[in-house]
Structure 1
């Protein structure tokens, strides 16, 4: 029997901070996306709790070394930073990134992706969500800190993310705006910053609308079980 090609699952890479890292928890938005893409893509979680766009820019080339972007191996990448960048400098200087630098970092991330063969039409920026200051202040006090994030400041970073996406030709999911558009946005947050179950569902539904257009044509990998030749499964499973 002739040698057959390896089976290649295209990859969707989720790159971001804790909101991405936590997205594979039960009912998380990343887990929901992975479920929708079962047998079509591997959804890879590269969320790094506490990280900002400055550190992301340094790390991304190393992360991409393990993923072959040729032949469509990387089908999509989400870039979800800003919640830590927007921390107040006077209270949390370690995570804070100035607004203009954040904007430039987001643009640089698209250049790094493009140099690895991931074109802008495969990239989706996600803005930081809104901040519920009273709830997040309680979390800060428990950790011995003053309130270190403000919703209005998070909004400035969200707007910078949207503008950078437009300049780079990538799609953007503006959570900061969408979550505050209708009703009480606090129900989308578990602690004033991170997502509740309803918030995870919100992200999953809106992100899927952007991903579906790119990924719905991807084939189902390997034959449906009823189509496997039971008498000689090798003839079905080892060759195209």
Structure 2
């Protein structure tokens, strides 16, 4: 019989809105969360704490319910990925109340990073920029859903992504994951003839959706291809603890490989006695 573990598995937590909630989806044949869990299997638990519709003010209000202070034998928060902003950037409308002003958004991100429960774990923190927005597509869907106009705007969303870059730069030790840039770079690359010096893809001013149509099917949420791009940004930051070591496929296991388990010798000894 295997002995009980003395410690919980350390955690990688994905804390954000629907963009993290959607990392668990497998319907497109790829799951960001599953890919990350496979990468760290037996070393870390990947915890999805994505909440559709939440903004950073909501995140702060629920943070003590989502995270617990460190306790002996309890789970240790080792990596924290933070992705909020798509809802904070929603423009104020009578039909939508998700908006958080830009300065307040930056303040909220800083408060999440510096929250006493978070800092007590001393995790490696990653701030993720919200992705680009296809306002052309969003406008059609928002009006169909009863909004008088688009609930989100390309230029406004880009400003919130820039704010994440600024907050990350202001906090030593925090790593920036620039999802906005990675997806926009891919969209521009895959849109022949598009001039990036003009209005952005998805901006009604330019009138060109281009490859954003494939990366953001509803103008806001990520396609499977986008989640693959996102995972490719994250993957190099995880696993340095065991990369390049001897038997790196087993180094860092919370419970040992069966070949090296301390109870294996005891089992062999007992079997020898019974012969």
Instruction: Give the TM-score taking structure 1 as reference length.
Output: 0.85
Which residue of structure 2 lines up, in the alignment, with residue 188 of structure 1? 215
1:179 counterpart = 2:183 = yes
Tell me how far apart the structure 2 counterparts of residues 106 and 51 of structure 1 sit (CA, whole Å).
13
Question: Larger deviation: 11-20 or 109-118?
Answer: 109-118
**Deviation (angstroms), 1:70:** 8.1
1:78 counterpart = 2:113 = no
Which residue of structure 1 lines up, in the alignment, with residue 10 of structure 2? 10
Which residue of structure 1 lines up, in the alignment, with residue 168 of structure 2? 165
Tell me how far apart the structure 1 counterparts of residues 227 and 101 of structure 2 sit (CA, whole Å).
28
171 and 147 in structure 1: CA distance in 2 versus 1, 3 angstrom threshold: same
Unaligned runs of at least 5 residues, structure 2: 191-210, 246-250, 271-275
Tell me how far apart the structure 2 counterparts of residues 17 and 234 of structure 1 sit (CA, whole Å).
53
SS state at 1:232 partner: helix
Which residue of structure 2 lines up, in the alignment, with residue 202 of structure 1? 229
Which residue of structure 2 lines up, in the alignment, with residue 110 of structure 1? 113
How many residue pairs get matched?
232
45 and 200 in structure 1: CA distance in 2 versus 1, 3 angstrom threshold: same
223 and 199 in structure 1: CA distance in 2 versus 1, 3 angstrom threshold: same
Q: RMSD across aligned C-alpha pairs, in angstroms?
A: 2.8
**Deviation (angstroms), 1:142:** 3.0
91 and 200 in structure 1: CA distance in 2 versus 1, 3 angstrom threshold: farther
66 and 25 in structure 1: CA distance in 2 versus 1, 3 angstrom threshold: farther
CA contact (8 A) 1:122 1:214 kept: no
Which residue of structure 2 lines up, in the alignment, with residue 238 of structure 1? none
Which residue of structure 2 lines up, in the alignment, with residue 144 of structure 1? 146
Which of the residues 63, 71, 87 maps onto 2:66?
Answer: 63
1:21 counterpart = 2:21 = yes
CA contact (8 A) 2:16 2:49 kept: yes
Question: Larger deviation: 138-147 or 43-52?
Answer: 138-147
209 and 86 in structure 1: CA distance in 2 versus 1, 3 angstrom threshold: same
Which of the residues 221, 232, 240 maps onto 2:267?
Answer: 232
SS state at 1:117 partner: helix
Unaligned runs of at least 5 residues, structure 1: 236-240
**Deviation (angstroms), 1:221:** 2.8
141 and 176 in structure 1: CA distance in 2 versus 1, 3 angstrom threshold: same
Question: Larger deviation: 187-196 or 216-225?
Answer: 216-225
Q: Which runs of 4+ in 1 moved over 4 A?
A: 66-72, 113-116, 214-218
Which of the residues 74, 94, 98 maps onto 2:97?
Answer: 94
Tell me how far apart the structure 1 counterparts of residues 153 and 268 of structure 2 sit (CA, whole Å).
60
From the CA coordinates, give the structure whose radius of gyration is larger: 2
Question: Larger deviation: 221-230 or 66-75?
Answer: 66-75
